[in-house]
C-alpha cells in the first residue's frame, strides 16, 4: 500500500523538537554542507535561539538586525509586536552579514538564490532544505517548526517555566505550549519525582 503522506507536508503535530545537543549539532553540520549552507545555517540559528516562526525569520531585513541585536518586529501570524533577542548569536550573525554582498539596509537578510537579492527565501524553500536534512539524518519528524519547537523545549528545560515559554511563543494557554514543545506527562512526572517542600 502506498504511503498517502509520502508527498504531503508534515503536520505541525508530527514535527518534533531536537531534544539533544548532538541532534542540534548534526542538523547544523548538514546545513553547513548544503549549497547555500551559510544562509541556511543562519536561518536555523536564528530559529532555535529566538523561537521566531520561519515566516518571520525569512522576512528579516539587514537594517533590522545590523546595529540592534534586540529589535522589535511584528509577527506575521499574530500581528503582535515582539522584541527579539539576538545577543547570544550576535557574533555568528555579524560574521554572516560580513560575508554577504548586501547593498542596502533594505536587503533581505536571507535572500532567495533562485530569483534575485530583492526577494527572500520562502518558507517553502526553507522547508525543502529541512526535509533534505531530515532525509540525510534518517528522520521523519523535522520541518520548519522544528526550530521554534527546539527553542521552546530547551528554554523550558533551562527555566522550568512554562509561563515564560508561553509568553515568548505567544501561546494562549499552558496545555498548548506543553503539547507544542513536546513536554510529555512522563517528563513532568520525572521532574516531580524528587520535588519536595
Q: Which residues are catalytic?
A: 53, 77, 145, 148, 171, 180
CA 197 to CA 185: how far, in whole Å? 21
∠ Cα 82 51 77 (to 5°) = 55
Q: What are the contacts of 156-160 at 24+ separation with CB within 8 A?
A: 156/181, 156/183, 160/191
Phi, psi of 181 (to 5 degrees): -90, 0
Q: What are the contacts of 52-55 at 24+ separation with CB within 8 A?
A: 52/84, 52/148, 53/77, 53/144, 53/145, 53/148, 54/123, 54/126, 54/127, 54/144, 54/145, 54/147, 54/148, 55/123
Amino acid at each position: 500500500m502506498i504511503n498517502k503522506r509520502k508527498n504531503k507536508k508534515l503536520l505541525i503535530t508530527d514535527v518534533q523538537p531536537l531534544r539533544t545537543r548532538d541532534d542540534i549539532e548534526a542538523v547544523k553540520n548538514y546545513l553547513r554542507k548544503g549549497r547555500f549552507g551559510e544562509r541556511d545555517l543562519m536561518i536555523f540559528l536564528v530559529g532555535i535561539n529566538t523561537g521566531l516562526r520561519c515566516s518571520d525569520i525569512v522576512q528579516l531585513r539587514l537594517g533590522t538586525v545590523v546595529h540592534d541585536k534586540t529589535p522589535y518586529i511584528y509577527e506575521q501570524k499574530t500581528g503582535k509586536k515582539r522584541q527579539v533577542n539576538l545577543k547570544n548569536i550576535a557574533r555568528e550573525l555579524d560574521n554572516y552579514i560580513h560575508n554577504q554582498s548586501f547593498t542596502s539596509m533594505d536587503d533581505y537578510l536571507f535572500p532567495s538564490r533562485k530569483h534575485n537579492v530583492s526577494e527572500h527565501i520562502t518558507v517553502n524553500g526553507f522547508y525543502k532544505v529541512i526535509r533534505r536534512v531530515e532525509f540525510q539524518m534518517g528522520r521523519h519528524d523535522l520541518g520548519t517548526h522544528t526550530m521554534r519547537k527546539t527553542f521552546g523545549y530547551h528554554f523550558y528545560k533551562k527555566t522550568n517555566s512554562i509561563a515564560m515559554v508561553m509568553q515568548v511563543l505567544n501561546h494562549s494557554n499552558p496545555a498548548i505550549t506543553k503539547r507544542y514543545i513536546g513536554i510529555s506527562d512522563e517528563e513532568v512526572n520525572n521532574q516531580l519525582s524528587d520535588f519536595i517542600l
